[in-house]
């Protein structure tokens, strides 16, 4: 068992890191949390964050269940998935690197809402589940770790681990950005952060593509 854990631990670590870095860089979902926290209250931002995190968990289940079933029937699909996922991550990296070069600012529109916690939660869930990029991002992240021969505990670890990361990180955004001053502080380091994220995703994407060709040559 220990040898098996050591075999998959690097893949799990890379997938967790890629997922965390995606959450740390502002996108539409994060800006919804930040805007709600700044424009309404910390509590409202947290409810939005919990809804978005729940959406992430649902995407994780769908990605794991769907890919596990497909890979069990069509092993070659894993090769195709790694190539497509690698290309997507490289495309994502280009956006980060472009942002690092141009130094674009974080544009946050404050969202003043007066509604119940339940409605805020559902709004956050809807934002995540209707984001088409979320599906592609999850497929790319899962392609890092899922293999036809991977044991079930790997998929379970991926769902649980990303769930914990999602709740923690999204909640942190809501708490931190309940004050306008944090935006200015974050903006000061945004170009460096975008550059680091872009470089990481380039490496991860290239690694996925190379592993696809390497595994394909063995079949």
Q: 23-53 burial, b if ≥16 CB within 10 A, otherwise e? A: bebbeebbbbbbbbbbebebebbbbbbbbbb
Query: Which residue in 148, 152, 158 sits closest to 216, CA to CA?
Result: 148
Q: Which domain holds residue 14?
A: 2-216
Domain count within the chain: 1
Residue 180: pLDDT band with limits 50, 70, 90: low
Taking only the tens place, the pLDDT of each residue in 154-173 is 888 888 998 999 999 999 88
Q: What is the pLDDT of residue 46?
A: 92
The structure tokens listed for 219 are: 């079949």
Residue 34: pLDDT band with limits 50, 70, 90: confident
pTM above 0.75, yes or no: no
Angle at 208 between CA 207 and CA 214, to 5 degrees: 85
Is the pLDDT at 69 greater than 70? The verdict is no
């Amino acid at each position: 068992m220990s040898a098996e854990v050591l075999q998959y631990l690097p893949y799990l670590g890379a997938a967790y890191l890629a997922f965390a870095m995606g959450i740390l860089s502002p996108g539409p979902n994060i800006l919804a949390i930040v805007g709600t926290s700044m424009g309404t209250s910390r509590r409202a931002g947290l409810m939005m964050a919990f809804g978005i995190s729940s959406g992430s968990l649902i995407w994780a289940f769908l990605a794991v269940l769907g890919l596990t079933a497909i890979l069990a029937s069509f092993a070659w699909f894993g090769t195709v998935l790694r190539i497509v996922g690698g290309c997507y991550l490289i495309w994502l990296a280009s956006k980060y690197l472009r942002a690092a070069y141009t130094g674009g600012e974080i544009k946050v529109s404050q969202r003043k809402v007066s509604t119940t916690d339940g409605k805020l939660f559902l709004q956050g869930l809807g934002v995540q589940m209707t984001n088409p990029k979320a599906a592609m991002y999850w497929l790319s992240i899962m392609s890092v770790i899922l293999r036809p021969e991977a044991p079930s505990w790997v998929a379970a670890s991926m769902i649980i681990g990303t769930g914990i990361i999602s709740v923690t990180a999204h909640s942190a955004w809501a708490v931190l950005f309940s004050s306008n001053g944090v935006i200015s502080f974050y903006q000061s380091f945004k170009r460096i952060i975008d550059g680091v994220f872009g470089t990481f995703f380039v490496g991860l994407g290239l690694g996925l593509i190379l592993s696809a060709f390497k595994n394909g040559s063995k079949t």
